[in-house]
Amino acid sequence: FVSTAESFPACIVISDMTIPGAPMVFVNQEFCRTTGYAKEEATGRNCRFLQGPDTEPEAIQVIRNTLSKGQDCHVKLTNYRKNGEMFQNLLSMKPVFDADGIYRYVIGVQFEIKEDQNLKQRLVQLDKLLRLLPSKLNLRSKASARAKGAMAVNVSGEANQMITNKEKILQQSKQMEVQEQNHNRPKALVAASGEIPMANLNLDNTIFAFTKIIWLNCPTDIMQGIAMDPVSKELFEKFVSVSSVVYRHHFEFVCQFFQIATAPGQQEQVKLIRKFHMKRNKNSVFYCTSTEINYGSLNQMNWGPVFQEMTQKAQASTAMLASEVLPKFLNSKLGFALINKIRQRELSGQQSALKTVACGLDKNAESFWLDMFRTLSETVSIGMVISDMTVPGIPLVYINEGFKVVTGYGKEKIGCSCRFLQGKETESYLNDEIMAALQQSESLLVKLHNYKANGQKFQCLLALHPVFGPNGEYKYQIGLQLDMVMSADITRQLLEMERLIRYMPHSITGENTEDVIRIIPSDTLGDGTLFPFVGVDPSEVRGAAPASTGGGMGGGAFGGGGGFGGSMMGGGGGGFGAPAPMAGMGGAAPAGQGAEVMQQGKEVVTKKGKGKDQYGRAFGKKQKAAMLEFTKTLWLQDATTSLRNLLQLEVAQQAFLGFLKTEYSEAQLEFFLEAQKLEAMDPVSQAKAAPAVYQMFISAGGKGIGQQERTTATQQMWDYVNAAGGNAVDSQTAMLKIREEAETTLKMLAFDAFPRFVKSKHCQNVLSALQQSGNGKQIEGMLNQVDNTAPQDADDWLNIFVSTAESFPACIVISDMTIPGAPMVFVNQEFCRTTGYAKEEATGRNCRFLQGPDTEPEAIQVIRNTLSKGQDCHVKLTNYRKNGEMFQNLLSMKPVFDADGIYRYVIGVQFEIKEDQNLKQRLVQLDKLLRLLPSKLNLRSKASARAKGAMAVNVSGEANQMITNKEKILQQSKQMEVQEQNHNRPKALVAASGEIPMANLNLDNTIFAFTKIIWLNCPTDIMQGIAMDPVSKELFEKFVSVSSVVYRHHFEFVCQFFQIATAPGQQEQVKLIRKFHMKRNKNSVFYCTSTEINYGSLNQMNWGPVFQEMTQKAQASTAMLASEVLPKFLNSKLGFALINKIRQRELSGQQSALKTVACGLDKNAESFWLDMFRTLSETVSIGMVISDMTVPGIPLVYINEGFKVVTGYGKEKIGCSCRFLQGKETESYLNDEIMAALQQSESLLVKLHNYKANGQKFQCLLAL
């Protein structure tokens, strides 16, 4: 035929109806001359490319209607040449069927209408030509064409069910093709590429994508399946363990619940419930339920109500994990790995509650991909159909149940084209867009009027999603439909459509570049902007980090803190009472030094292993600020000699006794004077008198300190000491003990009491008496020397005390309460000998590291209670040496206040209790030593210490409001520091690094993080602000334009709505509404509302109801964007850029509805960071407080309103530690965990019993 048609004087084109899109396979020379297109430009295309703006819609409709029915077509219309020139065309099209009735070709004859005298003649010739064209051939088509024709859309409009047997029909046609020989038919210019068999394709990516969509359509069921499947559970545990401690606890709880729920029989269930609850805070049930458990009577427990509560809480936890965590998990590498593992199990024949989309399907069948699509589509509630682009007429090959819900048409329409949805008011220009997308194998989102099976017109939101074969051939077009009617379900349906568009691959294998980038996870957390949450030993990355302590943020929260942490011998808590950490007085160590000290701690070996304490926990970081270098001083030697000489005078003895009565027991001086008398006696008299002095002063009973609060074991020991009868000693032994004790007593009096005596009126009385006798000059000079060289401040006092304490036969440790964590700044040699730890292993640490599993909780509680009040502490408890060996310790701790009442030091005396014959004697000696220790100094502290002490938590428990003026107080202390000169005080081994002024810091990242949290607490308001702010709008548009066409339309609509809503006056609003609606499908209002617009009578339109509907839809769209898109945007680089831009505008003084956390704050103020925290905390509904770790006692420096809602306590508690939350049933072992986290500057999540302001006990979930 083409051989003849080439020379026809009319334009002849031929389209092959068995090729997808029915392209032209031939055009003759006359066509090329008339249109200006060359053959190669025209063949392979649909004739629609000749249409243009003025092509008549009614003519196009005639073409569609006739050719879809296989009828002749004859129509006049406007077409365009290649150069853009219009011409009038009389188009005739003749359908041609083969001998089997297969619609094979359409012959088109184009006739250019020129109004001249030959028009009639030429039209008559055209008519004759058309009558010669055949309608039916007596020839059959080739087997492959017959197969496609058999499946093609029927011209009658009836469904062609043959499409459902496509694979079988194609297989038969291939067999017949071999038998047929026909060499005279036209050959394709390009040989058809061989189609790769389905069995040879790798569809792992597609299986992952389809399965992910299915799982996200029933997330709660999937979460339950994951919790009950060992392999899935392991991978999900890995995910939550590096993403969130809250999620981790809830997932562990859900797993444990299902383990219980599926246990065989009630007895086994109760056994498991009891087992899990026995673990207390080491088990996630503890964190996710609120059942009150009496651990002392578990055997009498009624576990029925417990299981009921667990059931309710497990449902809530599962729902939370399903909505918040599962989507992230499935976007992660671990999610991809899980679906792959499940698929491998299916292929090996294993059964599982979790299934992939491919489960039960034949992976070798040619219909494998289509079978998976069918499975996927039936999990979707919106309409979902698929058309085969390789079959003439593009028949539907599957229709899901959702399509029937939307349109009323069901699977009976398989084999038809989608034209049955069209009707009288279906927009032809939108049909053209759909046709173009189908022909060009493009995606599309469009809204048009369609008609349901019952004849009802509806607005159909249609999405097209093309799918290509492994060689890039155009295989399928997926259609998604939903009814754009305002309903409670519309947002969910829109999100479902968006999820399908986002996750469905465009290729059969899911392996093309675009699919891999869009669908296959590339990071661990399912969010490329986040980093895994992992536990790292800070010593490995930042040297020795400052330890922090305190009573904990929850039940003692930030409370009594640090110090000896519960005990010089390893008690767990309260530290030196209220005072506790300050952040790093000593600054950072030089490179390597902190890590070197830390390494020494790691080399410690106990029964729990290398570098572990008796609980198996890693040893804490060193407190560098506590590593003090104590200078040896001659002053103490001079003072001791001076006091010894002075006490030769009777007047001085009486005056010193009088002075001691005001502060100490004068018995210590009386003992020394008696010892001096013994030294002056002859040997015989001395031997007679010595045993009596020994019995009176050394062997006599004692009672120790801290009698206001003691454990039973401590009191029993002193009762034993004071029982009748003392050990008899010979005179030689008695004299030796007297001399030792006298020397110690003299040194203690010389360094502490003597300097104060020199400044007292008692000393002035001595001088007056001596001057009257004429013997005062030498003594006065000596006393002046003592006064002038005596300690000038509390730090000097400490320097002198350690010179004495180094040689004490008892274990002496000293903690400085103005250093964070109140660490030990000194331990003597006896401490090292008793515990096995070297000085460098002990100093800088809290004494809690001596604690172990058998350390008595009641002893720890005594330590907490007494030291938090600044009272003496005296308690017997169990501690552990470096080698893991236990020993009994009598711990005495003496709080020391300076002249301003600042809690400066705690002196700890450790006494190892050995049950031998010398125990009584040694305890009496201890009692005498304790009585010599001072409680108050007459010396002030250095200005910096005074400043911190002024802000410290009050030992009375009352709020210290001075903390609110921290910056001012510290500034004043720096000025005073300059004026104070004292070169004899202890020096830090490492020079304190100057704190960088806040004004010199770059806080952009913090401002971004804080602002993001605030914005996510009010997302709808923020979305509105973004839509109304030009800079914000531009960045958000960039984000949605590359992420989702659905989101893009809804954001554009929201922006346009607010433009209308804020227009000045109703007239301007109507003008804008009309303008936007005039754009029809080129405008997002069109996609997001369902108002019926009559474009022929816009001037008569009542725009009031239109605006009302826009308002409702804009609220729904804003809410959807706020919940689904804003969090993703703020996790992107564009979100970071937006907050930075807004911050720059604030700094330049520009006003904006959107604000950062720093808006209105002074960025140069030292309180800038804290001010931002205050702003942030007040946007949070839960309790949120902050404590200053640089101030003794760790006072609360801010309390938000949420804390008052939770606890009943408000801002009046600023300046207190959180110990006020503790009560009778607050768990001490949890307080220990809180203390350890504070000391080690670690995060923590724990649940414990606390008490509200009204006395009500409650379960507090605390995060540090």
Please write the tens of the pLDDT for every residue from 532-578.
444 333 333 333 333 333 333 343 333 333 333 333 333 333 322 23
Give residue 711's pLDDT: 62
| Closest listed residue to residue 567, CA positions, set 558, 576, 555 | 576
DSSP conformation letters of 837-863: --HHHHTTS-GGGG--TTS-HHHHHHH
DSSP conformation letters of 482-493: EE----TTHHHH
Please write the tens of the pLDDT for every residue from 972-1011.
777 676 666 544 444 433 334 457 888 899 999 999 999 9
Give residue 893's pLDDT: 85
C-alpha atoms less than 13 angstroms from C-alpha of 407 in its C-beta half-sphere: 29
Give the separation between CA 117 and CA 517, rounded to whole angstroms.
64
Please write the tens of the pLDDT for every residue from 141-150.
887 777 777 7
CB 1001 within 8 A of CB 1103: no
Residue 719 backbone dihedrals phi, psi, to 5 degrees? -60, -40
Mean predicted confidence (pLDDT) in 943-968: 72
Local confidence band at 101 (pLDDT 50, 70, 90 cut-offs):
confident
Give residue 980's pLDDT: 62
Give the separation between CA 453 and CA 142, rounded to whole angstroms.
38
Q: Which long-range contacts (CB under 8 A, 24 or more apart) does 211-215 make?
A: 211/339, 211/356, 211/357, 211/358, 212/330, 212/335, 212/339, 212/503, 213/376, 213/379, 213/380, 213/499, 213/500, 213/503, 213/504, 214/357, 214/375, 214/376, 214/379, 215/326, 215/330
How many helices (H) and strands (E) in the chain?
A: 51, 23
The CA–CA distances, whole Å, from 679 to 19, 642, 729, 735, 742 equal 127, 18, 18, 9, 11
Give residue 1174's pLDDT: 96
DSSP label of 697: I
| Chain CA centroid to CA 773, Å | 82
Element at 896 (helix H, strand E): strand 886-897
**Residue 450 forms beta bridges with which residues?**
458
State both tokens at 1151.
């006003």
Local confidence band at 593 (pLDDT 50, 70, 90 cut-offs):
very low
Please write the tens of the pLDDT for every residue from 768-818.
776 666 655 556 665 565 555 566 777 777 877 787 777 777 788 998 877
| Closest listed residue to residue 95, CA positions, set 51, 169, 155 | 155
Q: What is the mean pLDDT of the chain?
A: 79
Give residue 272's pLDDT: 85
Local confidence band at 715 (pLDDT 50, 70, 90 cut-offs):
low
Give residue 533's pLDDT: 46
CB 624 within 8 A of CB 586: yes
383-388 and 628-629 beta bridge pairing: unpaired
Say if residue 1180's pLDDT is above 60: yes
Give the separation between CA 95 and CA 67, rounded to whole angstroms.
7
**Exposed e or buried b for every residue in 711-721, given b needs 16+ CB within 10 A?**
bebbeebbeeb
- For the ranges 151-165, 1026-1040, 1175-1189, the lowest mean pLDDT is seen at 151-165
Give residue 1014's pLDDT: 97
Give the separation between CA 855 and CA 875, rounded to whole angstroms.
12
| Closest listed residue to residue 786, CA positions, set 765, 814, 756 | 756
CA angle 52, 53, 54 (to 5 degrees): 95
Where is mean pLDDT largest: 209-213, 468-472, 683-687, 769-773? 209-213
Give residue 340's pLDDT: 95
3-class state of residue 686 by DSSP: helix
Say if residue 752's pLDDT is above 90: no
| Closest listed residue to residue 865, CA positions, set 873, 855, 854, 857 | 873
Say if residue 830's pLDDT is above 70: yes
Please write the tens of the pLDDT for every residue from 1049-1079.
889 889 988 888 888 988 888 788 777 776 6
- Tokens 């200006």, located at residue: 36
* Its pTM surpasses 0.95: no
Give the separation between CA 764 and CA 760, rounded to whole angstroms.
7
Give the separation between CA 182 and CA 139, rounded to whole angstroms.
12
CB 1219 within 8 A of CB 1195: no
List all residues 6 or more positions away from 180 whose beta carbon is below 8 Å from its beta carbon.
142, 143
Residue 335, class by beta-carbon neighbours within 10 Å (0-12 exposed, 13-18 middle, 19+ buried)? buried
CB 111 within 8 A of CB 10: yes
Please write the tens of the pLDDT for every residue from 1108-1127.
888 888 888 899 999 999 99
Local confidence band at 304 (pLDDT 50, 70, 90 cut-offs):
confident
Say if residue 229's pLDDT is above 70: yes
Mean predicted confidence (pLDDT) in 961-966: 74
CB 574 within 8 A of CB 868: yes
3-class state of residue 1160 by DSSP: coil
780 vs 244 pLDDT, higher one: 244
Give residue 598's pLDDT: 32
- Tokens 């590429």, located at residue: 193
Give the separation between CA 32 and CA 434, rounded to whole angstroms.
28
> 1192: how many CB neighbours lie within 10 A of its CB?
34
Give residue 106's pLDDT: 92
Give residue 187's pLDDT: 42
Torsion of CA 305, 310, 312, 314, to 10 degrees: -170
- Tokens 């006990």, located at residue: 1257
**Residue 632 forms beta bridges with which residues?**
none
Give the separation between CA 1062 and CA 1042, rounded to whole angstroms.
28
| Closest listed residue to residue 35, CA positions, set 49, 55, 25 | 49
| Closest listed residue to residue 557, CA positions, set 1209, 1256, 1255 | 1209
- Tokens 């009617």, located at residue: 485
Percent of the chain with pLDDT over 90: 30
Give residue 485's pLDDT: 83
C-alpha atoms less than 13 angstroms from C-alpha of 945 in its C-beta half-sphere: 24
Please write the tens of the pLDDT for every residue from 491-533.
899 999 999 999 999 999 999 888 898 888 876 665 554 544 4
Local confidence band at 583 (pLDDT 50, 70, 90 cut-offs):
very low
CB 99 within 8 A of CB 137: yes
Where is mean pLDDT largest: 661-665, 786-790, 883-887, 955-959? 883-887
Give the separation between CA 101 and CA 157, rounded to whole angstroms.
15
CA angle 1229, 1235, 1238 (to 5 degrees): 150
Give residue 979's pLDDT: 62
- For the ranges 15-24, 393-402, 1173-1182, the lowest mean pLDDT is seen at 15-24
Say if residue 437's pLDDT is above 90: no
Element at 637 (helix H, strand E): helix 635-646
Please write the tens of the pLDDT for every residue from 654-680.
887 777 777 655 566 777 788 888 888
| Closest listed residue to residue 874, CA positions, set 930, 937, 932 | 930
Give the separation between CA 942 and CA 898, rounded to whole angstroms.
10
DSSP conformation letters of 136-204: B-SSPPPHHHHHHHHHSPPTTS---GGGGGHHHHHHHHHHHHHH----SSPPPSSPPPPPPPGGGS--H
Give residue 226's pLDDT: 96
Percent of the chain with pLDDT over 70: 77
Give the separation between CA 797 and CA 791, rounded to whole angstroms.
5
Residue 1093, class by beta-carbon neighbours within 10 Å (0-12 exposed, 13-18 middle, 19+ buried)? middle
456 vs 488 pLDDT, higher one: 456
Alpha-helical regions (H) of 297-450: 303-320, 326-330, 333-347, 368-377, 401-407, 428-439
